[in-house]
Amino acid sequence: MPLSVAVGHSSLTGPRERNEDFCGVVTPIGPELDNKGLVAALGDGLGGHKGGREAAEYTVRGLLCDYYATPDTWGVHRAIDKVVTALNRWLLSQSARDPELAGMATTLSAVVLRGRRYYTAHIGDSRIYLLRNGELQRLTSDHLWDHPELKNVLSRAVGLDAHLLLDYAEGELEEGDRFVLLSDGVWGVLPEATMAQLLLDQPEPQAAAAALTSLALAQGGQDNASAVVVELLKLPPASLRDSLETTVRLPLPPRLKPGQELDGLEVEEVLHDSRVTQLYRVRDKKSGQRLVLKTLRPECAGDNEEISAFVMEEWRAKRVVSPFFPQIVPSDERSCLYFLMTWHEGASLQQMLDADHHFTVAEVVQHGVRLLKGIGALHRLEIAHRDIKPANIHLGQDGRLRILDLGVAVSSGENAANEGNPGTPSFMAPELFDGVPAGVAHDLYAAGVTLYHLLTRKYPYGEIEPFQHPKFGEPVPPTRWRPEVPSWVENILLKAVAKDPAQRFETAEEFLLALERGAARPVAAPTRVPLAERNPLMLWKVIAAISIAGNLVLLMLLLR
């Protein structure tokens, strides 16, 4: 059952004879409703300026349109912030270009209903209210100057300043909730008690919106009056994973052997058979195309958590359209739960290590550049891979490097299961062992360990076994194992795997730039932490030992 709402809106022109308000609602259907949600927005153009109406309409229309063009993997507030920031720049450019449009600005109040949560974004003095269980709650604060001579003057608005700062909030939805977006031409005239009673008296959202605006003008309102009312009729399933219920209900395929067929796909080889998943190389008998089929082991048939996580992996992978990742191949007529990916001849970097391939410094730098480009593409979608390592990096015979396995990845557009930090211990950053949630920054640390390992076949802090809680000192310089490694490469790797997160690269682009600049603009050598700061207890133990030894020597000399 998808999210179901009823919507009403009204915008009436006041005595000014020019309506500078603008409102709109988008109610998508299907996957777009599940992934992006429903959006309602209201803007109130800055009064007394020629461009007030234009600013309100352009901002609201732009948000309602461009929000749905942002990646599904982005969080709601991240998507809104990106869109409105761009709209703000456009309004400022118009004001600078045309003197008649100086001061072209607008308030903006928006609500997104997605899944079982609501999200608000707000700037200015339009308002958002929530009517729940008969009580009217105000969800926003007015951005007005707190000064007697600046009464009703906006301190923040879209188009008012290059530094845009919106207020964001979110919460859980309940059936029967009514979200009400109002311009100051309504809330500035009607007391909240009157508005609450009117909303309770009007069962239909359209009638409620019309009653709010008409009553505001009837009681002497001197401004335009606009209202949007969105009533929640039915809640969807509990999460995005649950909303993909059609796929979840598919049965798991049996264990397959070379020569067997499934949905017109002939199994050629078993590529991987782990505790949970199975990968096969298959051939589409119609097209002759070789593909990779990924599914769960038959033993997972009753494991709803594993099944929903697998469905989310496919959802995530479909949205990563990049040459640095295998691409999902549509398979609409599936009789079982699996998904198909493009097949590429080659081997993982771990397989190359196991085959005793000796990576040169130039190869490692080249692979590092490609790896960071792939990680950067993933991070721009706000997806954290969370298991970067040589086994999950594939080098094709076509010369392309591809990042594999998004099984434990997570995006900001979904809620990560409360499962602790996944990943391979030797590639996990020190703070992850203290319970810090893994995110995009930790992919960069894992990339540093990966490049270090390709060079040395060692780990900067030694190999870490599962369930071990290691103590981290200083990373071992790679030149200890490979003296020919240039200092600029060593400095980059030591920065990437620094114990202190503040000393590491902040973004994939920064890491990539350091590799591309190389010796021309080398990264500074990391500052080694003095023993007194690194381990003060050990320092005093060393001083005490030296003192005792010195005293013993003196005692022996005196006893001669």
| Every domain of the chain and the residues it spans | 4-236, 242-342, 346-529
What integer pLDDT is reported at residue 501 of this predicted model? 94
Span 176-196, average pLDDT: 96
Which of 181, 205, 231 lies closest to 41 in space, CA to CA? 181
- Given the structure tokens 């649950």, which residue do they identify? 242
Beta bridge partners of 341: 292, 328
DSSP label of 227: E
Instruction: Answer for the pair 295, 278: CB distance below 8 angstroms, yes or no.
Output: yes
pTM for the whole structure:
0.80
Work out the end-to-end distance of the chain between its first and last CA atoms, rounded to an integer number of angstroms: 95
d(CA 224, CA 425): 61
Q: Which helix (H) or strand (E) holds 248?
A: helix 245-248
Does residue 421 or residue 474 have the better pLDDT?
474
Cα–Cα distances in angstroms (integers) from residue 235 to residues 1, 27, 30, 308, 417, in the given order: 8, 14, 14, 19, 21
**Local confidence band at 147 (pLDDT 50, 70, 90 cut-offs):** low
Beta bridge partners of 261: 266
* CATH class of the 4-236 domain in this structure: alpha beta
Does residue 49 or residue 192 have the better pLDDT?
192
Span 503-527, average pLDDT: 92
Which of 32, 33, 57, 36 lies closest to 45 in space, CA to CA? 57
Residue 533 has pLDDT above 70, yes or no: no
d(CA 162, CA 89): 7
Cα–Cα distances in angstroms (integers) from residue 236 to residues 1, 60, 115, 176, 497, in the given order: 5, 26, 6, 13, 43
Q: What digits encode the pLDDT tens for the residues 207-216?
A: 999 999 999 9
What integer pLDDT is reported at residue 349 of this predicted model? 97
- Coil, strand, or helix at residue 130? strand
What integer pLDDT is reported at residue 169 of this predicted model? 95
What's the whole-number average pLDDT of the chain?
Answer: 90
Span 172-195, average pLDDT: 95
What integer pLDDT is reported at residue 199 of this predicted model? 95
Span 177-205, average pLDDT: 95
d(CA 516, CA 514): 6
CA neighbours within 13 Å on the CB side: how many for 276? 11
Span 96-125, average pLDDT: 90
Strands across the sheet containing 21-26: 21-26, 38-44, 108-114, 117-123, 167-172
d(CA 544, CA 527): 27
Q: What percent of the chain has pLDDT over 70?
A: 93
What integer pLDDT is reported at residue 163 of this predicted model? 92
Strands 383-384 and 338-342 turn out to be unpaired
Instruction: Answer for the pair 8, 207: CB distance below 8 angstroms, yes or no.
Output: yes
CATH 1.10.510.10 fits 346-529, yes or no: yes
The contacts of residue 169 (CB under 8 Å, 6+ apart) are 119, 120, 139
* CATH class of the 242-342 domain in this structure: alpha beta
Beta bridge partners of 319: none
Q: What digits encode the pLDDT tens for the residues 304-331?
A: 889 988 998 999 999 999 999 999 998 8
Instruction: Answer for the pair 145, 202: CB distance below 8 angstroms, yes or no.
Output: no
Span 258-272, average pLDDT: 95
Instruction: Please tell me the least confidently modeled range out of 31-35, 115-119, 423-427.
Output: 31-35
Residue 36 has pLDDT above 80, yes or no: yes
Strands 277-284 and 265-273 turn out to be antiparallel
